[in-house]
Structure 1
Amino acid sequence: MTTIPTATSIEGGHPTGSRRMKPRRAAVAAAAGTAVEYYEFGVYGYLAVIIGPLFFPNDNPTASLLATLAVFGSAFVMRPLGGIVLGRLGDRIGRKPVLITTVVGMGTATAVVGLLPTAESIGLLAPLALLLVRLAQGFFAGGEVTGSATYLSEAAPHGRRGFFGAFTPVGVAIGGGAAALVAGLTTTLLDDDQLRDFGWRIPFLLALPLIAITLAARSKLEDSHAFAEETKTAPAKSPLREVLTEHTAAVFKVIVLSIGSNTGYWVGLIFMNIYLTTYLEYPKSNTFWIMGGISLFVATLMPVFGGLSDRFGRKRIITIGFLGYAILVLPTMILMDQGSFALAVAAMVVLALPMPIVQSVTYPTYAEQFPTRVRYTGLSFAFNIGTIIGGGLTPYLATWLISQTGNLLAPGFLLMVAVVAALFTLRTVRESSRAELL
């Protein structure tokens, strides 16, 4: 049975004694690592139209883009394996060492992408090398965002898990926004020849200083009081087996919810970059700037909605966000296709409004579905399965659907299907905003 701290052992929501948790420090450190992860994934997504021909030369631009997005998706395939391995370590030896490992592994792999030779230099070995590095990146990413969500759920004071838990997706938004801004700056300052020759490498190499910043923040963390209390007896011997045999329903619910939330992020933001630049032919650099600004704007709203979920309940807030996606996606995509960049920007801002609602509240909700002894493993396994479908497959599938049907609205229907499935699943999830952690 999970040991829950009593009122006599807590002061202001923190354990007494030398191992006093500091939720603000935990929130900053967790968000920093998640920002690094989504910066790295975002850079690849934003630069896909530039690096595609360099690694997959083809007379057909769509075929080259599809190949690039397939490698993009391959990193997601490794995430469940990384989640299982790193989640098991996190549940047995502690959250902190694993969270340090993930950010170093991801950052190093991203920097290596910036050093890879292209197909012009080494032929078919170039896409193979890119694939291998992306697989390594996906492995470490499998334990990052879920480790952040796990840690913050345990570090937050009772009754404020929604607010502090929202800093995991704050990192997601900041990382994605930084990726867009860096891509925008690079494409603005360099011409097409410079981008192809060396400019595309710069955003990937910037991962190196980001690693140093995150390590400085995370080195000061301590493992959560809940985890320390749980492991006073004995950690789970086989966390994955325990998750699959004793928490099957929670696994299924988190998978479906994460498909909905990830589809909202990767179709509603990352793919929309491709939609605006490749299919609607708006300027790349201007689009990058807009995407970056939108990401940073939604990041400021996430703690607000996280806090509202503490007051009004997780399920009510998440429902509003998913319904927003379902209602807004098709009208906003139609507005984007009217030939006016200003109108397209306004439509993109409107489409992004559900994002801070869904992202801020689903992460603490995921963590609250599993007990402390297997939380890292359960969350990592279930969330990453959902991420394969909602994140890894959707940009590729959206591009493929457009190429097969000629219907530019096909990605919108894809998003609608994902969020409707998530809404039905949400009805079966227990309300956890006021409950103690298991």
Structure 2
Amino acid sequence: MPTEHPLPSDPAPPTTALEPSPGPAPEPGSAQTHAPGDSPGRRLLGGAVGSFVEWYDFYVYGLNAPILAALFFSADSSQTVAILSTLAIFGIAFVSRPLGGALFGYLGDRYGRVRVLSATILLMGGSTALIGVLPTYETIGIAAPLLLMLCRLLQGFSAGGEHSGALTYVVESSPAGRRGRWVSVVYAASYMPNAFLALLFLGLRVGMGEESFTAWGWRLPFLFGGVLAVVGLWLRRRLNDPELFVEARKKAPVANPLKTALTHDLPSLVRVVLLVAPQGVAAYLLMTYMYTHLVSNIGVSPGTALGAQALTSIIVTVLIPFAGALSDRVGRNRMMVVGLVWLAVAALPAMLLVEQADFMGAFIGQLLIGIGIVLFCPVSMATMLELFRTSSRYSGHAVSYTIGQGLFGGTTPLLAGVLVAYFGPVAPAYYVIAAALFGLLVVARTPETSKVQLSDNDAAPSA
């Protein structure tokens, strides 16, 4: 247990899982009064919209992977080689994520959360829209996959700052005793795009026909990503930095927050990298790889695969905020243990059900993994943020989280594809099981953070 931080006195229990309520007085330094247009609800929405745009931009690539494989690589390549190459380009974005996390985290801690978040959302949407106008291999040859890779690097660079910045902003703006709930709302927003895109792709395929969608219709969702970024910027333009952050910067200004995070908060950095392992493996297997697996390896029709994934994503999105709210009551670590045990037990049955190649098998199999994600991922995200001091939270979380995602999340689709190619369609289940068991060891060494007062964290929590 962290010993440096006094516990808040009797925080009132959350009343709903989705909306903030007046509740008890906020932690010292947390936002209570706001400028016109800068209400608690707008702060929560301002953080969530960036998460939606960021993961929209990532998921649109995953759902387009079979088409991108056919259009951006030589026709002489086998389908397996083209798919693996497309997934490798997906993973290349995670090389630039730590660089973006380091830069934007430093800027966010030094100069303010909101200004940096305005830049990241525009860069993210712009690089996604650019993919929508790229020429294909047939037009410009090898330059096509190289340009695709450049766009993915830009996406990863901006995502490195966006995800951590939005979550940092929200956790510092949340009322006392409701941090898990607020963080989970933002995390739920990262799953909404998957359901939205699955339904959008299904509608486009049916409305314009497979031939037209494959020829040019696939570009429309990428272009729409740029529109979403402009909407997100509009929602954020009237927000102010959390008072918790403003007071921490006045009280104990840090000349180099990135250096502080890398030196004084090193135990927290390591914990976050390791906690990302089960989160990244389960989430990216379900939300990025599973559609490609169903269509390219199992032989499920695109419509059936999209329908099953859309329904799974909707249920996961709805349940995530309730898990975050529950963790405010019972503690983060207890919830994380339950989620990891679920993933370890459910992974193999889930992949066996998916292998049945029908709608119910695809849906129930994905939902089994999705329930484990609901129980573990949003709760672990709250813990990761609470491990860092306010003055360097953005830098510390951005660097450690992006490194963890690069090691465990971005590589999951490619590793799952290799495992399927060599060991069969259920092989990714064993990767999920290994990640879950590893996660249990990490949680056992992680302090409980749900009752820590962020206003007192001049020193990060330690075991």
Query: The TM-score by the shorter chain falls in which range?
Result: over 0.9
Q: Which position in structure 1 is the counterpart of 2:294?
A: 276
Select which of 34, 40, 47 maps to 1:23: 40
Helix, strand or coil for the counterpart of 1:306?
helix
CA shift in 2, pair 1:16/1:169, >3 Å: closer
Q: Which position in structure 2 is the counterpart of 1:184?
A: 202
Select which of 282, 297, 309 maps to 2:315: 297
Please list every run of 5 or more consecutive structure 2 residues that lacks an aligned counterpart in the other structure.
10-22, 458-463
Select which of 119, 125, 134 maps to 1:116: 134
Q: Which position in structure 1 is the counterpart of 2:64?
A: 47
- The one-letter code of the counterpart of 1:310 is D
CA RMSD of superposed structures (Å): 2.1
Q: Which position in structure 2 is the counterpart of 1:138?
A: 156
411-420 vs 76-85, greater mean Cα deviation: 411-420
Q: Which position in structure 1 is the counterpart of 2:359?
A: 341
Q: Which position in structure 1 is the counterpart of 2:20?
A: none
Select which of 239, 263, 266 maps to 1:245: 263
Aligned-partner Cα distance in 2 for 1:45–1:17: 41
Select which of 169, 174, 185 maps to 1:151: 169
Q: TM-score scaled by structure 1? A: 0.94
Q: Which position in structure 2 is the counterpart of 1:264?
A: 282
Select which of 410, 413, 416 maps to 1:398: 416
Is the Cα contact below 8 Å between 1:266 and 1:390 reproduced in 2?
no
Q: Which position in structure 1 is the counterpart of 2:98?
A: 80
Is the Cα contact below 8 Å between 1:277 and 1:284 reproduced in 2?
yes
Aligned-partner Cα distance in 2 for 1:225–1:370: 17
CA shift in 2, pair 1:122/1:363, >3 Å: same
Select which of 78, 101, 126 maps to 2:119: 101
Helix, strand or coil for the counterpart of 2:222?
helix
Asked if residue 363 in structure 1 is aligned to residue 381 in structure 2, the reply is yes
Aligned-partner Cα distance in 2 for 1:30–1:16: 17
| Structure 1 residue 295 displacement after superposition | 1.2
Q: Which position in structure 2 is the counterpart of 1:436?
A: 453
CA shift in 2, pair 1:156/1:273, >3 Å: same
- The one-letter code of the counterpart of 2:317 is A
Is the Cα contact below 8 Å between 1:176 and 1:295 reproduced in 2?
yes
| Structure 1 residue 358 displacement after superposition | 1.8
Is the Cα contact below 8 Å between 1:75 and 1:135 reproduced in 2?
yes
- The one-letter code of the counterpart of 1:34 is S
Is the Cα contact below 8 Å between 1:43 and 1:183 reproduced in 2?
no
Q: Which position in structure 2 is the counterpart of 1:415?
A: 432
Aligned-partner Cα distance in 2 for 1:416–1:272: 16
Identity %: 34
Please list every run of 5 or more consecutive structure 1 residues that lacks an aligned counterpart in the other structure.
none
Asked if residue 69 in structure 1 is aligned to residue 87 in structure 2, the reply is yes
CA shift in 2, pair 1:154/1:272, >3 Å: same
Q: Which position in structure 1 is the counterpart of 2:17?
A: none
CA shift in 2, pair 1:115/1:291, >3 Å: same
Select which of 127, 150, 167 maps to 2:145: 127
290-299 vs 425-434, greater mean Cα deviation: 290-299
| Structure 1 residue 408 displacement after superposition | 1.4
CA shift in 2, pair 1:338/1:133, >3 Å: closer
- The one-letter code of the counterpart of 2:158 is F
CA shift in 2, pair 1:329/1:19, >3 Å: same
For residues 338-389 of structure 1, give each alpha carbon's deviation from its aligned partner in whole angstroms, at most 9, with x where no partner exists: 3433233222222311122222212211110000010000000010011112
Q: Which position in structure 1 is the counterpart of 2:19?
A: none
| Structure 1 residue 416 displacement after superposition | 1.3
Q: Which position in structure 2 is the counterpart of 1:229?
A: 247
Select which of 195, 198, 208 maps to 2:216: 198
Aligned-partner Cα distance in 1 for 2:307–2:419: 27
For residues 302-323 of structure 1, give each alpha carbon's deviation from its aligned partner in whole angstroms, at most 9, with x where no partner exists: 1111110000000111111111
Is the Cα contact below 8 Å between 2:327 and 2:450 reproduced in 1?
yes
Aligned-partner Cα distance in 2 for 1:36–1:98: 15
Helix, strand or coil for the counterpart of 1:236?
coil
Q: Which position in structure 2 is the counterpart of 1:427?
A: 444
Aligned-partner Cα distance in 1 for 2:39–2:369: 35
Aligned pairs, number: 433
| Structure 1 residue 193 displacement after superposition | 2.6
52-61 vs 258-267, greater mean Cα deviation: 52-61
- The one-letter code of the counterpart of 2:196 is A
Is the Cα contact below 8 Å between 2:55 and 2:190 reproduced in 1?
yes
